[in-house]
Chains A and B, each alone.
Chain A
Amino acid sequence: KQEVTQIPAALSVPEGENLVLNCSFTDSAIYNLQWFRQDPGKGLTSLLLIQSSQREQTSGRLNASLDKSSGRSTLYIAASQPGDSATYLCAVDNDYKLSFGAGTTVTVRA
């Protein structure tokens, strides 16, 4: 059974600092990995999807890397802003289903 772990569980940084969020998974036979953002009481917003054959994906200030062999992905958010405050979830697709981590709750202080 796939286990997905996200460390740290919570992170507080001053505005402008770069954010580094980590995700690890136990079964490396994945098809893709996805990063989501979730605001309190809301649904999920997809940020980046990395196919298993890719090493990274970039969108604006966001960059996600994937090392399938070691079972790790990292989400980098450059020059953080207060609007980046949210919970970030990673999810891996294997066996046609998504397994989610518990998330990292980020607070960016103005």
Chain B
Amino acid sequence: GAVVSQHPSWVICKSGTSVKIECRSLDFQATTMFWYRQFPKQSLMLMATSNEGSKATYEQGVEKDKFLINHASLTLSTLTVTSAHPEDSSFYICSAKGLAGGHNEQFFGPGTRLTVL
């Protein structure tokens, strides 16, 4: 149980285009989902927290107009990187907490590798 999927697993796009990444909780309902990015040989940095049906909360330094997050249902959150540039190339990982929320365990997706040319 507690499986989180991401799609696509990797994507290559041209500079200036937008890319959408999906995060799904497959066997549980997630009131809260998190989006992280990871640069090579570095740790995960939290970008934003999204709660179903409400606006995402972004961490300091993360541009909310560039990284659009939508959490429209209890099983799906999307991250759209708008007008992508090479510096946005990174590994993006989502995680989800179950309905109990709180300090319960987060379950992580397999990640999406974004390369912007």
Q: Which residues of A contact B (CB under 8 A)?
A: 4, 31-32, 34, 36, 41-44, 46, 49, 89, 91, 93, 96-103
B105 in the interface (beta carbon within 8 A): yes
Interface of B is mostly: strand
- Would you mind naming 18 contact pairs between A and B with Cβ atoms under 8 Å apart? A32-B103, A41-B111, A41-B113, A42-B111, A43-B6, A43-B111, A44-B108, A46-B107, A89-B43, A91-B44, A97-B34, A97-B46, A98-B34, A98-B46, A98-B95, A99-B46, A100-B43, A102-B43
Number of B residues, CB within 8 Å of A: 21
Given the known interface contacts A98-B46, A101-B43, the answer about A46 and B103 at a Cβ–Cβ threshold of 8 Å is: no
Determine whether the beta carbon of A103 is less than 8 Å from that of B43. Answer: yes
B102 in the interface (beta carbon within 8 A): yes
Determine whether the beta carbon of B108 is less than 8 Å from that of A97. Answer: no
Binary interface encoding of chain B residues 85-117 relative to chain A, with 1 for a CB under 8 A from any of its CBs, else 0: 000000101010000001101111111010000
B49 in the interface (beta carbon within 8 A): yes
Residues of A within 8 A of B107 (CB): 46
